[in-house]
């Protein structure tokens, strides 16, 4: 596609894109906070990794031209702000399909940005075989002395969907958008297989995330520790804790007695030397 973009516009684009750079940095940190929060509390994180980027200038210009944005008209900046919603882009990659849905829900509940639109290319894959959730959010950045409300596209997908999309993207680039028919067919087949794998793995998710059944003898030890704790015999309680429960904390997460002991004394028990 031939693009006639005045040199002045190309220069202006640098400062035009700066608040988007800031938005990507801030949002990336915020979304990574979800992952760290889960990990810090010893829970499984529905997020594997988060990446972000600002759309490259050539890709932005191409999309602007497709939308008939006229760079000789002073309104071009406002039109791009309003009409091109993926200049700031975040990609959240998860292990399982249910994690993708959980992350989508967590993002919808946030108050630091507003979800404007959700495109569900998992329920309705693109013709290419592309699967992902696209969430358009509006986010306010304070850039210099300015307050700017910007759109950002958050893509949420599984590792499998990401693998497929990365390969397809490279092929599209290699063939300059005109992927040969037989390669397209293989990509389509790969998309179907990726989806089957995602669905199968999603069933395993429950199996993987369900903690193993609690050994009844451990529960008895817990009772003993609890009664020593009630009698304020902390040294004996600590001794028993270290001998029998240390390392099995995950199995007792839903047990209120354990939680109480752990919250009040767990760290001390672990720290006391024999
Ligand atoms: P870049 O700049 O190289 O990252 P629309 O309403 O059409 O504007 P939509 O449906 O959200 O918006 O998707 P759009 O604009 O076609 O594409 C936005 C981004 O989604 C793309 O960025 C890709 O990252 C991803 N995407 C969409 N469709 C496909 C697809 O078929 N294959 C792959 N691999 N990725 C896709 P760009 O355009 O690559 O821009």
How many CB atoms neighbour CB 2 within 10 A?
4
- CATH number at 183 reads 3.30.460.10
The verdict on 146 and 225 lying in the same domain is no
pLDDT confidence of residue 232: 87
Helix/strand/coil for 183: helix
Residues with CB under 6 A from ligand 1: 55-56, 59, 86, 119, 126, 128, 130, 134, 165, 168-169
- Listed in order, strand segments (DSSP E) in the chain are 49-54, 88-94, 114-120, 133-143, 146-158
The residue out of 208, 235, 251 marking a domain boundary is 208
Mean pLDDT, the chain, integer: 90
- pTM of the full predicted structure? 0.81
The verdict on 151 and 59 lying in the same domain is yes
Tens of pLDDT along the chain (274 residues) come to 556 788 888 899 999 999 999 999 999 999 999 999 999 988 899 999 999 999 999 999 999 999 999 988 889 999 999 999 999 999 999 999 999 999 999 999 999 999 999 999 999 999 999 999 999 999 999 999 999 999 999 999 999 999 999 999 999 999 998 999 999 999 999 999 999 999 999 999 988 888 777 777 888 888 888 888 889 888 888 888 888 877 777 777 777 777 777 776 666 655 443 3
Residue nearest to atom 38 of ligand 1 (CA): 59
Q: Tell me which residue has tokens 């389509």.
A: 188
- Strand-pairing partners, residue 226, are none
- Strand-pairing partners, residue 140, are 149
The verdict on 253 and 140 lying in the same domain is no
Residue nearest to atom 28 of ligand 1 (CA): 130
Task: Quote the ligand 1 centre to 28 CA distance (angstroms).
Answer: 19
Residues whose CB falls within 8 Å of the CB of residue 4, separated by 6 or more in sequence, listed in order: 71
The verdict on 126 and 190 lying in the same domain is yes
Residues 241, 228: contact at Cβ < 8 Å?
A: no
Q: Six-digit token pair at 266?
A: 């767990």
Closest of 110, 117, 143, 128 to residue 25, by C-alpha:
143
Mutate to test the pocket of ligand 1, among 52, 54, 61, 86 (most ligand atoms within 8 A of CB): 86
Distance CA 204, CA 98 (A): 11
Closest of 85, 78, 135 to residue 106, by C-alpha:
135
The verdict on 98 and 194 lying in the same domain is yes
The verdict on 261 and 187 lying in the same domain is no
Task: Say how many residues make up the chain.
Answer: 274
For the chain, the 3-state helix, strand and coil shares in percent, each to the nearest 5, are: 55, 15, 25
**DSSP code of 250?**
G
- Strand-pairing partners, residue 139, are 150
The verdict on 87 and 130 lying in the same domain is yes
Closest of 200, 201, 197, 122 to residue 155, by C-alpha:
122
The verdict on 148 and 250 lying in the same domain is no
The residue out of 208, 227, 243 marking a domain boundary is 208
The verdict on 26 and 66 lying in the same domain is yes
Distance CA 206, CA 15 (A): 48
Closest of 37, 160, 41 to residue 93, by C-alpha:
160
Residue 59 CA, closest ligand 1 atom number: 2
pLDDT confidence of residue 4: 73
pLDDT confidence of residue 274: 34
The verdict on 197 and 246 lying in the same domain is no
pLDDT confidence of residue 104: 98
**146 CB-contact burial (10 Å; exposed 0-12 / middle 13-18 / buried 19+):** exposed
Residue 140, CB-side half-sphere exposure with 13 Å CA sphere: 7
Distance CA 6, CA 9 (A): 5
> Is residue 2 included in any domain, yes or no?
no
Domain that holds residue 258: 216-273
The verdict on 74 and 200 lying in the same domain is yes
The verdict on 264 and 131 lying in the same domain is no
Query: How many independent structural domains does the chain possess?
Result: 2
């Amino acid at each position: 596609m031939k693009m006639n973009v005045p040199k002045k516009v190309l220069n202006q684009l640098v400062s035009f894109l700066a608040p988007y750079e800031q938005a990507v940095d801030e949002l990336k940190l915020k979304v990574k906070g979800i992952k760290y929060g889960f990990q810090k509390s010893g829970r499984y994180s529905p997020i594997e990794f988060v990446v972000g980027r600002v759309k490259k200038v050539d890709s932005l210009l191409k999309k602007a031209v497709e939308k008939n944005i006229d760079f000789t008209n002073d309104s071009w900046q406002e039109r791009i702000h309003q009409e091109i919603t993926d200049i700031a882009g975040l990609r959240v990659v998860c292990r399982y399909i249910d994690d993708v849905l959980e992350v989508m829900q967590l993002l919808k509940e946030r108050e630091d940005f507003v979800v404007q639109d959700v495109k569900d290319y998992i329920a309705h894959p693109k013709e290419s075989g592309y699967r992902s959730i696209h969430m358009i959010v509006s986010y306010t950045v304070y850039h210099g002395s300015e307050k700017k409300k910007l759109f950002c596209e958050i893509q949420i997908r599984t590792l499998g969907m990401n693998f497929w999309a990365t390969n397809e993207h490279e092929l599209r680039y290699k063939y300059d958008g005109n992927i040969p028919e037989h390669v397209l067919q293989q990509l389509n087949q790969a998309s179907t297989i990726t989806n089957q794998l995602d669905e199968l793995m999603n069933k395993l998710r429950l199996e993987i995330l369900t903690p193993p059944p609690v050994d009844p003898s451990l529960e008895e030890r817990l009772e003993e520790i609890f009664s020593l704790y009630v009698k304020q015999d902390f040294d004996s309680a600590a001794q028993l804790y270290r001998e029998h429960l240390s390392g099995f904390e995950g199995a007792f997460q839903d047990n209120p007695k354990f939680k109480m002991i752990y919250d009040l004394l767990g760290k001390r028990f672990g720290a006391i030397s024999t």
